[in-house]
Structure 1
Amino acid sequence: MAADVTTTAAGSSATDLRAAMAFEWIKLRTLRSTVWNLGLFLVVSVAVAVLTGSVMRGAYDDMGAESKADFDAVATGFGGLRLGLIALVVFGVLTVTSEYASGTINSSLTAVPRRGVFYAAKVLTGTATAFVASVVVVAAGFFATQLALGGALAASVSDAGAVRALVGAVLYTTLLCAFSIGLAAVLRSSALTMGLLVPLFFMVSTILNSLPGVRKFAQFLPDVAGSLILSSRPPEDTVLTAWTGMAVLAAWTALALALGYVALRRRNS
């Protein structure tokens, strides 16, 4: 009897989650910001990738011997990803905060009263969308860069570390988007969340990671740790490796999502 009740409850939860996800898909598709931000993620990443490849191709002959030895065509293939990633972070934030800004959050919670189901549906749909977009953008940006590099400079997927970097780049962008979703659920404000994340991911972490005395701590910041996987060669000045860095990013993401869930459960809306 107890087993039947458990099975019925599990089936009900799965049905509720599928219905909630269908609800979230509708909301995502009808948000103009979804199309704009995902489109910018693609266009900016590929445009900067082509520019990066073209500049590096022209500058390579003028490099010194040491710089040429350190040149990593695989890592260069993700040169446009960092700037384009701003749009994906904004997408993740707006996935949550747009409902608070428009006042529709109460209607959504009325339609899906089980907050765990509501939150899981929002996280899963947002993250799945980011994953699909990342697969397209990472591949397009990487191959566009190699085409712009041309000749002997270009890397191929058969090069050492290339496949790992491509897979890791998709995970990197997807996890950062999920991290943004979790933090947005905590703060509930588009301006506040983006005001924290954009400077942290795209300015502060880079500065801190370049300071010798701070670098040993800065390497554990989510975006810095995850970005280690974008290079074909392991870094020499960090205790993290490509995959342990990705594990650090995953841990940050899990923490942000857990805090987002706690915040949603404790508030009236």
Structure 2
Amino acid sequence: MVVVQVVRSEWTKIRSVASTVWTLSLAVVVTVALGMLISALSRHQFDRMPAQERGSFDPTFISFAGMTLGQLAMIVFGVLVVSNEYSTGMIRTSLAAVPQRATFLFSKIAVATGLALAVGMVTSFAAFFLGQAMLGSHGTDIGETGVLRAVIGGGLYMTLIAMFSMGVAAMLRSPMLSLGILMPFFFLISNILGNVDATKKIGRFLPDQAGSRIMQVIPRVGDDTPYGPWGGLGIMLLWVIAVIAGGYALLKQRDA
């Protein structure tokens, strides 16, 4: 009964904060709009692509091109859900009302994860269908092998990005510090490590690099990644479990 009440309380907190609603809305709009734009450009450039690129052209993955910016909004959402109470000082009141810190943290994460999953799935399916419409004859069908898995995986990927951000925010407590680490990590460090030959073997095991594998249907030419789509998502899940466990361990040890 206590858990149910805490879950309801966390739901009220999330839906009553305008910034979290706006970030989720932005995740949908940016992901879908950019995916449509890149898909339309790809259709016009398809005939001018080298034969090798046309052979490995992945219309499903192209429709998810907006995920790069869409995940930015999911990162902000995940950070705000956890760290907003720290920045306002409301964390003392929350922990006084719910002294069981496991109940407090995991109820918050569960509610936010459910919301992120719903938004992620809607975003992924919308991005796919509208992206394929932009690709026209170069598109694919959701009934093709691996496509449905990739679309569902897109929603799961966005959800795990949000959960990873929640775990980091639980450890750091500060929204500015959390965003100051997560933004460069996902948009600079991860891309560098994943694309430089000397560090590529390390970079492919980072959460976003591994997790995005689930959205690919046609492997890139010369791709020697040692895991498949679900393996990559599994690696990302391990990262998420690790940071959330770290956040809980620190929450237990320190004062609000």
Contact 1:219 1:238 in 2 (8 A): yes
Contact 1:135 1:170 in 2 (8 A): yes
Q: Say whether residues 1:216 and 2:193 are aligned partners.
A: no
Aligned to 2:214: 229
Q: How many residues align?
A: 254
Contact 1:37 1:88 in 2 (8 A): yes
Instruction: Give the aligned CA root-mean-square deviation in angstroms.
Output: 1.0
Distance apart, 1:171 and its partner CA: 1.4
* TM-score in terms of structure 2 length: 0.97
Q: How far apart, CA to CA, are the structure 2 residues paired with 1:109 and 1:252? A: 26
Q: Secondary structure of 1:150's match? A: helix
Structure 1 counterpart of 2:225, from 219, 223, 238: 238
4+ residue stretches of structure 1 with deviation over 3 A?
none
Aligned to 2:73: 87
Q: How far apart, CA to CA, are the structure 2 residues paired with 1:251 and 1:212? A: 25
Distance apart, 1:201 and its partner CA: 1.2
Amino acid of the structure 2 residue aligned with 1:262: A
* TM-score in terms of structure 1 length: 0.92
Q: Say whether residues 1:28 and 2:14 are aligned partners.
A: yes
Q: Deviations over 1:51-109 (max 9, x none)?
A: 01111011111112111111110111211112111001100000011100111000111
Q: How far apart, CA to CA, are the structure 1 residues paired with 2:241 and 2:30? A: 28
Structure 2 counterpart of 1:255, from 222, 242, 254: 242
Structure 1 counterpart of 2:147, from 141, 162, 170: 162
Contact 1:182 1:260 in 2 (8 A): yes
Contact 2:26 2:73 in 1 (8 A): yes
Matches within 5 A, 1:1-269: 15-151=1-137, 153-234=138-219, 236-269=223-256
Q: How far apart, CA to CA, are the structure 2 residues paired with 1:100 and 1:61? A: 53
Contact 1:234 1:242 in 2 (8 A): no
Q: Deviations over 1:184-209 (max 9, x none)?
A: 00000111111111111122211211
Amino acid of the structure 2 residue aligned with 1:228: R
Aligned to 1:6: none
Distance apart, 1:234 and its partner CA: 4.2
Contact 2:121 2:156 in 1 (8 A): no
Q: Report the more deviating stretch, 259-268 or 230-239.
A: 230-239
Specify every segment of 5 or more residues in structure 1 that has no aligned partner in the other structure, as ranges: 1-14
Specify every segment of 5 or more residues in structure 2 that has no aligned partner in the other structure, as ranges: none
Amino acid of the structure 1 residue aligned with 2:149: R
